[in-house]
Amino acid sequence: MPQHILITGGAGFIGSHLADKLLLCQPDTYITAVDNFDDFYDPRLKHRNIAAARQNPRYRLLTADICQPDQWQSQVAHTHFDAIVHLAAKAGVRPSISRPQAYYEVNVRGTQVLLDWAQRNGVKRFIFGSSSSVYGINPKVPWVESDTDFMPISPYAATKIAAEMLGHVYTHLYGMQFIALRFFSVYGERQRPDLAINKFVQAIEGNESIPFFGNGSISRDYTHVSDITDGIIAALGYRDTNYEIINLGNGHAISLSDMVRCLGEVMECEVRIAQLPEQAGDVPQTCADIDEARRLLGYQPRISLTEGLRQYVTWHQKEADV
């Protein structure tokens, strides 16, 4: 049966990959993508992300800000959506510390606007892109969804918790299905240029030192974007309960030192380190317990860090030649 999905943040890193996979694997799926092409990084990169999708007749792009209903709601007034995948957000832990109000406006109020519109227009399924940052400095790893002892240390993390709670309200009041997927350190082709792996690859290529915040013991649960999009698609097919919070990670924490060493091996280059002080807002470790994702969604991450880095480096080098 045909379905129509609204993807917010649709031209971004995860949103563009999700659209491509849905268009490729689900020939009865139609997509409307909304993106405001925020200048947090070069909007031309986002336009490049969706160049292929825009050639598909089942794909439509709306250039609009979700916080400004008059920019987009009239354009979808006569479209029935089976589900919303809400990925639009102000991203980045560190920038949120200096601009907390802006992050609240987009990540909390923007979610409220979208939930309210979904409720009024009979959209019954809402998939929300949350973040592992909600766990903050909780020392009990791997992090389990049932542990509500949140210890966020950035405004960004706080906005994601608030949005998850808004979803619970709408489930309770209106029977809407709300699935919050907590993403863990997503990386891969098209990732934001401000993220560590992109910066490290460029530094190695330029024979420059890699900026190392802290002593290298910081660990992350690196999850390839292909595994994340598989998890989102599985969540779109989930029907059993109305409210769930589910970790989407790789299930293994890897230290910054080990990740950099692996990257150097993939690139067959010597890596030089420039050690710097730890940065505010950075948590010392992230690690997902993914048992719930396996049980509810049949989720199983497939891309190892070595393979994921190899794919990223190959893509990065091709992009440099364009």
Rounded average pLDDT per 10-residue block, the chain, 322 residues: 93 98 97 95 95 98 96 93 97 92 97 97 97 93 91 94 98 97 97 91 89 78 98 97 98 92 92 78 87 98 97 90 60
Q: What is the pLDDT at residue 200?
A: 92
pLDDT in the model for residue 321: 64
To the query of whether residue 243 is one of the catalytic residues in this protein, the response is no
**Which residues contact residue 258 at a Cβ distance below 8 angstroms, ignoring those fewer than 6 apart?**
none
CB 71 within 8 A of CB 64: yes
- Which residue among the candidates 156, 170, 222, 299 is catalytic per the annotation? 156
- CB count in 10 Å sphere of residue 65: 18
Query: Domain 3-321 belongs to what topology?
Result: Rossmann fold (3.40.50)
Q: What is the pLDDT of residue 216?
A: 67
d(CA 291, CA 197): 27
- pLDDT value for 26: 95
Residue 154 to residue 137: CA distance in whole angstroms: 11
Q: What is the pLDDT of residue 281?
A: 64
- Let me know if 37 is exposed, middle or buried by CB neighbors in 10 A (0-12, 13-18, 19+): middle
pTM of the model: 0.95
Non-local (6+) Cβ contacts of 84 within 8 A are: 5, 6, 7, 8, 114, 118, 123, 125, 126, 127
